[in-house]
């Protein structure tokens, strides 16, 4: 399942994050990938152990915690602290699949990558190229969202960032270990949750809505890993 989640960050939060990133010292993005990814990755990243990355990451995590659509879609159990990257001057990241397990910086914790997310920190008109391409069974999807918006997709997906030919593309990205490992089950629960929400707005807490809500939670209880 791919999902566009709008307005994860406010205008004020975006301005503050961009101001801080404009003053940051970026490093080669190859430092955070394996040997295969390093062959196709050409970008810059904020060092993941840096105090600035951790501080800005907390802003993103707090926004996600307060976003019901993200929770419903990802059903997060753990989230890798957000990272930050920049593409300019033809930089790109060729076709790849994200690693299945990530180490959490400054800890002994590892988590499984079920859901990948990219949070855009600049407007589409600020740069040329730089589309995120995600390949699935329905074809290739190009994504280029407004600042503050997030795209969520399965970490099993083949994807790439096309070359940025003008301007600069700045984003945050991170991975989530979901309570629901299987993407099909996660998608089913999301659709069920959204339909229950719409029915509740029309019918209130009718017996039928309460019954469907119970079935949702029973399925979540049956499938969830905690």
- Residue located via tokens 């600069």: 168
pLDDT at residue 33, as a whole number: 66
Single pTM value for the model: 0.95
The Cα 79–Cα 111 span in angstroms is: 8
Q: Is pLDDT of 81 > 80?
A: yes
- Number of Cβ within a 10 Å radius of residue 87: 24
* Helices 51-65 and 11-22, axial angle in degrees (round to 10): 170
pLDDT at residue 192, as a whole number: 98
The Cα 5–Cα 152 span in angstroms is: 8
Q: Is pLDDT of 226 > 90?
A: no
pLDDT at residue 31, as a whole number: 72
User: What average pLDDT does this structure show over 81-105?
Assistant: 95
- Residue located via tokens 């990219």: 118
Q: Is pLDDT of 70 > 70?
A: yes
In whole numbers, what is the pLDDT of the chain averaged over residues?
95
- Residue located via tokens 């997709």: 153
pLDDT at residue 83, as a whole number: 96
- Please say whether the dihedral angle defined by the alpha carbons of residues 12, 15, 17 and 19, taken in this order, is positive or negative: negative
Q: Is pLDDT of 79 > 70?
A: yes
SS3 28: strand
pLDDT at residue 208, as a whole number: 96
Confidence of residue 104 (pLDDT cuts 50, 70, 90): confident
Q: Is pLDDT of 57 > 80?
A: yes
* Domains of the chain, CATH where assigned: 3-178 (2.60.120.620), 183-223 (4.10.860)
Q: What are 134-164's pLDDT values in tens digits?
A: 999 889 999 999 999 999 999 999 999 999 9
């Amino acid at each position: 399942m791919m999902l566009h989640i709008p307005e994860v960050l406010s205008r004020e939060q975006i301005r503050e994050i961009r101001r801080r990133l404009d003053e940051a010292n970026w490093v080669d993005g190859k430092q955070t990938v394996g040997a295969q990814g390093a062959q196709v990755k050409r970008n810059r990243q904020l060092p993941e152990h840096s105090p600035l990355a951790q501080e800005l990451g907390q802003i993103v995590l707090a926004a996600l915690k307060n976003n019901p659509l993200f929770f419903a879609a990802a059903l997060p159990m753990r989230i890798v602290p957000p990272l930050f990257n920049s593409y300019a001057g033809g930089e790109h990241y060729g076709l790849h699949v994200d690693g299945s397990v990530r180490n959490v910086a400054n800890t002994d914790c590892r988590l499984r990558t079920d859901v990948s997310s990219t949070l855009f920190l600049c407007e589409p008109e600020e740069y040329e190229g730089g589309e995120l391409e995600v390949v699935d069974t329905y074809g290739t999807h190009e994504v280029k969202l407004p600042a503050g918006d997030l795209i969520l997709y399965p970490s099993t997906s083949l994807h790439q960032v096309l070359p940025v030919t003008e301007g600069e593309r700045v984003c945050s990205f991170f991975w989530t270990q979901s309570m629901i490992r299987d993407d099909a089950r996660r998608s089913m629960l999301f659709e069920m949750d959204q339909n229950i929400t719409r029915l509740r707005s029309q019918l209130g807490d009718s017996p039928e809505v309460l019954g469907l809500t119970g079935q949702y939670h029973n399925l979540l209880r049956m499938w969830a890993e905690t």
